[in-house]
Structure 1
Amino acid sequence: MFVRIVKLSFAEENIDVFKANFETVKHKIRAFEGCLLLELYQDKHNSNIFFTYSYWNTEEDLEHYRNSELFKGVWAKTKPLFNAKPEAWSVDKIALLH
């Protein structure tokens, strides 16, 4: 499993625009081949900061998504809303406790 974490920071006036856009595309992203899980988090103390967590079968599946028309469309609508450069990490899950 391949895990991708992305930190997104938006201008305050763009938060609702981002949330509305995410609502329209989240099921398409989750249904993309190789995507196992998609989560969106909002920071409790800095409401303009969000994190996406996505789980992929392989790194190649993520790269296939990142080169897709779906991603290009999502990114074209999201990028102008930022107030800081996004940050991304690819990580290996070490432990999961329930």
Structure 2
Amino acid sequence: MKSFVVIVDIISKKDKVDFAKEALLSLLDVTRAEQGCVVFDLHQDKENPAHFFFYEVWETKELWEAHMNTAYFTAYKEKTADVFAEISFNVMTKIDMETSC
């Protein structure tokens, strides 16, 4: 089964890093419990603490879209409206290579 992979690249405002991290962490458990969520991992750059990214794997695009429209995610977006300098969503496809010796 093909999965739907999303990388969310996030840069918080320099003076909002702690608030951003707390808000992003608040999404983990509730999102991981959603139907169709396979992987939902948050990462923070060791050299630039304002840089975060989510690595997400969903069973389908439709289930990811449903996640993006949940009440808790809508509330999160309102709560963090002035926290982030940049956010980009990248839909990815895993590439498998066959290796031969």
Specify the TM-score bucket, using the shorter chain as the normaliser.
0.7 to 0.9
Higher percent of residues as helix: 1
Note the 1:53-64 alignment, pairs <5 A: 53-64=55-66
CA deviations on 1:33-82 (whole Å, 9 max, x unpaired) are 11111111112332211111111000000111112212101222223101
In our comparison, the structure showing a higher alpha carbon Rg is 2
Number of matched pairs: 95
Structure 1 unmatched ranges of 5 or more: none
- 2:24 aligned residue: 22
Higher percent of residues as strand: 2
- 2:46 aligned residue: 44
CA deviations on 1:3-52 (whole Å, 9 max, x unpaired) are 01011111122111111222333100111111111111112332211111
1:91 aligned partner, one-letter code: M
Report SS of the residue matched to 2:22.
helix
Structure 2 unmatched ranges of 5 or more: none
**What percentage of residue pairs aligned between the two structures are identical?**
31
> In 2, Cα distance between the equivalents of 1:88 and 1:52?
9
1:92 aligned partner, one-letter code: T
> In 2, Cα distance between the equivalents of 1:88 and 1:62?
12
- Identify the range of structure 1 (73-82 vs 6-15) with the bigger mean alpha-carbon deviation: 73-82
Q: Give the superposition deviation at 1:90.
A: 0.6
> In 2, Cα distance between the equivalents of 1:55 and 1:93?
11
What TM-score does the superposition give when structure 2 sets the normalisation length?
Answer: 0.83
